[in-house]
Amino acid sequence: MKINHRFNIKLSSFSVALILLFVATSLFIGLSFLSEGSLYGGDSYLHYLISKYAFHRPANFLDHWGKPLFTLLSAPFAYFGFHGMMLFNVLICSMASFMALLISRKLGYKNLPLVVFFTIFAPIFILLMFSGLTEAVFSLLLISAVYFFMDKKYVLTAILISLIPFVRSEGVMFIAWFFILLLIKKQYKSLPFLLSGVLFYSIFGGFILGDFLWLISNNPYKASGEIYDPGSLFDYVTNVPATFGPIVFLLSIAGLLSIVILFFVRRKKSILESEIQFNELFVIAFSALGYFVFHSVVCWKGWMSVLGDPRFMAAIVPLVGIMALKGFNSLVLPLRNRWVITVLVIAIGGIVTHYGVHKHKLPVKFQGELLVVKQATTWIVENGYAQNKIIYYNPVIPEFLDKNPFENSEFFTFVPDFNEPDKGVDKNTIVIWDGHFSALEGNVPFSRMENNSNYKLLKLFIPDPPFNIFGTMEYKVGIFIRK
């Protein structure tokens, strides 16, 4: 019997993409467990704390700001600490990248490994993986809905879209957009399911909270422009390198142009081709472009008290990745040289990976605001003040002091009266003032604490080198005690 020791293994483009995705996911999981904390500050830790203590305080599962669906999905991971939360977001980003890969294959695209590079190594996706933010789940719900829409599973599509607002509030725009898409497809029976998420949470929350309109009455975004000044209409455009990476952005523009030209200029040869072109233009491109424009206007007008934060664009990373692959193929496939195309795939994949990874310092070490707050809380513990009543503003402080912010009668957020911060505060209470949350969200400037005769400044922490918050305010952390 002759044994042939020669093996000729030829992996498909899809198989190579799956291997790449597995390796990248394993890499990020390893880096997450080597990290000290988050790449993003306050909101990241507040979402994490709401999820972490949800089993101790079930009301957290209906916390409007925390986002009920996000809390439900992430709580089992967050229960085991912030590393568990990072593991959750790594897996979610990996799943979103996988869905983008499935869609690219369904559309018949070549060079599938590139869509993995374009998604999981996107700078903003890497930030999400090392955070407790909600946008990763948003991206997974959206890209999954797109996949099932293309697969003609319209009821499931409608249900997934209906749940997006319970991960990010602005996701409500996709309910309106998919209502139009389902109308175009004459899927009238699927339309009511676009309200299934709202109906479920309204009824469930109504019985628990005693208010069936709690989604409206408890809406934390009713205020407009009260904290942050309106931004520019082009904030998201100028932040593109920090979001998708410059190469992916440019290729996605090429992909968008290719999709538009094919749809409006090239004559459709078959029903299948017509279906593909519809999905490319309306379901993928217009969904991404519409969301980009929507958030740009919200930032410009100062609505919903939000900044033009690049992280909000993470929701459309998988869609942009698909468009970028379309753009790449439209530019290089006419070359008809397999070796040249392979070299270009490897080169662009390497550049995208390098840019995304080196955009952030991994594994994450405490830096910026988190480093200064960590130094301050360590000082509090070492000097015996951790058992005092404590008033804090920065959401990371409970994690650093290992305290449950929801069930600790000695632990408070905000002073009762920001104009007179000594009123209603017991003596020996510690106030941890920081140059971000205390000054902005708390409306308590440092001078108001420093000049109050009923407070004594125990310790002041100034970063070295110094840095500013929002370009104007010098950051510092002060530890005050009520005399």
Q: What is the pLDDT of residues 132-154, one digit of tens each?
A: 999 999 999 999 999 999 999 99
Tokens of 96: 């979103």
Contacts of 86 (CB under 8 A, 6+ apart): 32, 33, 35, 38, 129, 130, 131, 132
Q: Which pLDDT score is estimated for 483?
A: 92
Is residue 178 within 8 Å of 211, Cβ to Cβ? no
Report d(CA 87, CA 132) in Å as an integer. Answer: 10
pTM, two decimals, is 0.92
Report which of residues 105 and 469 the model is more confident about: 105
Q: Which pLDDT score is estimated for 213?
A: 81
Q: Which pLDDT score is estimated for 2?
A: 46
Predicted confidence (pLDDT) at residue 254 exceeds the cutoff of 80: yes
Model confidence pLDDT, tens digit, residues 279-324: 999 999 999 999 999 888 877 776 655 666 889 999 999 999 999 9
Predicted confidence (pLDDT) at residue 60 exceeds the cutoff of 70: yes
Taking residue 223's Cβ as centre, other Cβ atoms within 10 Å add up to: 11
Predicted confidence (pLDDT) at residue 268 exceeds the cutoff of 70: no
Among 314, 321, 318, 312, CA closest to 249:
321
Q: Which pLDDT score is estimated for 267?
A: 61
**Mean pLDDT lowest among 230-239, 327-336, 404-413:** 230-239
Burial of 297 (0-12, 13-18, 19+ CB in 10 A): exposed
Q: Which pLDDT score is estimated for 224?
A: 44
Q: What is the mean pLDDT of residues 205-232?
A: 69
Among 317, 365, 388, CA closest to 92:
317
Tokens of 76: 């089992």
Taking residue 113's Cβ as centre, other Cβ atoms within 10 Å add up to: 21
Report which of residues 328 and 307 the model is more confident about: 328
Q: Which pLDDT score is estimated for 408?
A: 72
Q: What is the mean pLDDT of residues 419-447?
A: 93
Among 300, 302, 259, 305, CA closest to 282:
259
Q: Which pLDDT score is estimated for 229?
A: 58
Q: Which pLDDT score is estimated for 310?
A: 84
Rama region for 279: left / alpha / beta (φ>0; ψ in -120 to 50; rest): alpha
Q: What is the DSSP string of 250-288?
A: HHHHHHHHHHHHHHHTSPP-SHHHHHHHHIIIIIIIHHH
Predicted confidence (pLDDT) at residue 472 exceeds the cutoff of 80: no
What are the DSSP E strand ranges found in 86-132?
none
Report d(CA 480, CA 391) in Å as an integer. Answer: 10
Rounded CA Rg of the chain? 25
Strands 411-413 and 390-392: parallel
Predicted confidence (pLDDT) at residue 29 exceeds the cutoff of 60: yes
* Tokens 């958030």 sit on residue: 295
Q: Which pLDDT score is estimated for 277?
A: 92
